[in-house]
Amino acid sequence: MVTDAQLSHPEIREAVRRLCADFPGEYWQGLDRARAYPSDFVAALTREGFLSVLIPEDYGGSGLGLGAATAILEEIHRSGCNGGACHAQMYTMGTILKHGSAEQKLAYLPAIARGDLRLQAFGVTEPTAGTDTTRISTVARREGDSYVVNGQKIWISRAEHSDLMVLLCRTTPREECAKPSDGMSVLLVDMRAAIGNGLTIRPIRTMINHATTELFFDDLVVPAANLIGEEGQGFRYILSGMNAERILIASECIGDGRFFIDRASAYAKERSVFGRAIGENQGVQFPIARAYAQLSAAALMVDKAAALFDADQPCGTEANMAKLLASEASWYAADMCVQTHGGFGFAEEYDIERKFRETRLYQVAPISTNLILSHVATHVLGLPKSF
């Protein structure tokens, strides 16, 4: 069993566990049944400063690195809680931090650090573009001191629980650009002013309680002052944010995997059939041991990717591989844990079936396993692109 002494940031991990102890399985089960947002949990994380660890101290945050953020999310998930409701509050602000103006940083980052503003909506994916971001069709047309936005986004989580949204849109038609990735820009949308004034939000009910939505833009007016960085450079701006997202999601998968291994190991020791603990059987032991080995290897890749990100080194491949390996390891551990528990693995009160559903998402989002394999094949191994 992995102990704090073997993991980074032990003090942070202990503090996160203490907080999570106030939000046991019954809390999450109730939210899951009601499809409700974990407002109390998010407020507690905000109050303790866990969601502002990546914001520099000059703007009211902790000024810690991505390694500390991964420790926080890992422990949230290992404790049986779920950070999906608020993890974007950690990294979405990075677009402002790295590419925003001095005025934008002062206007938004301190309020985000305090929790007075929620910036946890990331508007990129579209129904007809999917993961080919260069083909997005949401358009922002410049008119005087404003942009007028029209289009549609899908799978935008937490939009109903966010004050601000980072929105990627086309400001120059794709066919007029030298490269497909040119001509996209990032706007910071004030959701409070936008809803009902050109922005419509439609919730999408899914197999997990993830507060995901579809967005419709109909002549939404956004001040030109809300343009982040230079017009036409938006695709480049969001890439670093995507790397952070993939590393943090990978850390959640590591936490999920540890949750499943912890639960399976404890149950295998306690559950007695035919007069002995089921954990004495190699048919039960070996899958748990394999899950532990796979998860341990994946955790090393997450640590490597986070270290590269914190050193401001290229980490796109490592971020993708961390997410691939961690999501597959957590899914194997989830399946193993259900199998170890038998029928009890499907009972709501054990929390395993809920976590089973939650961790399955991460082989699809925020980027699918196949796209990561394609990245490695073409960008690392030099294999020809398939069309």
Active site residues: 245
Separation between Cα atoms, residue 256 and residue 359, nearest integer Å: 7
List the beta strands (DSSP E) in the chain: 119-123, 139-143, 146-157, 164-170, 184-190, 199-203, 212-223, 227-228, 272-273, 276-277
| Residue 250, phi then psi, degrees to nearest 5 | -60, -40
Q: Does residue 157 sit in helix, strand or coil?
A: strand
Separation between Cα atoms, residue 215 and residue 353, nearest integer Å: 30
The token duo for 28 is 């999450």
| Residue 179, phi then psi, degrees to nearest 5 | -125, 150
Separation between Cα atoms, residue 133 and residue 137, nearest integer Å: 9
Contact 96, 105 (CB under 8 A): yes
Residues forming beta bridges with residue 142, ordered by sequence position: 147
Give the burial string for 108-128 (b: 16+ CB within 10 Å, else e). bbbbbbebebbbbbbbbbbee
